[in-house]
Amino acid sequence: MSAQLTERQNQIYEFIRSHIQTEGIPPTVIEIRDHLGLKSTNGVHKHLGALEKKGVLVRTPNVSRGLRLLAKDADAFSFDEGTPSLPLIPKMSSGQPGLLRRGKQHLQVDLRFMPRIDPDDCLAGRAGDDGMADEGILKGDFLVIEEAGSRPIPEGTLVAVLLMDLLAVRRVAYAGERIKLVPAATRYKPKSFIVGSPAYLVIGPVLAVMRKL
Ordered by start, the domain boundaries in the chain are: 4-79, 85-210
- Check the CA dihedral 88-131-97-205 and report its sign: positive
> What pLDDT score was predicted for residue 3?
58
Asked if 203 and 160 touch (Cβ cutoff 8 Å), the reply is: yes
Element (H, E) at 159: strand 158-163
Q: Which of 105-109, 154-158, 173-177 has the lowest mean pLDDT?
A: 105-109
Q: Is 27 helix (H, G, I), strand (E, B) or coil?
A: coil
> What pLDDT score was predicted for residue 131?
97
Tell which wins on pLDDT, 111 or 20.
20
The whole-angstrom separation of Cα 76 and Cα 131 is 49
CATH of domain 85-210: 2.10.109.10
Q: Is the pLDDT of residue 72 over 50?
A: no
> What pLDDT score was predicted for residue 7?
76
> What pLDDT score was predicted for residue 89?
83
Q: Is the pLDDT of residue 78 over 50?
A: no
Q: Is 74 helix (H, G, I), strand (E, B) or coil?
A: helix
Q: Is 173 helix (H, G, I), strand (E, B) or coil?
A: strand
Class of CATH domain 4-79: mainly alpha
CA nearest to 16, candidates 6, 8, 28, 7: 28
Asked if 37 and 11 touch (Cβ cutoff 8 Å), the reply is: no
pTM over 0.95? The answer is no
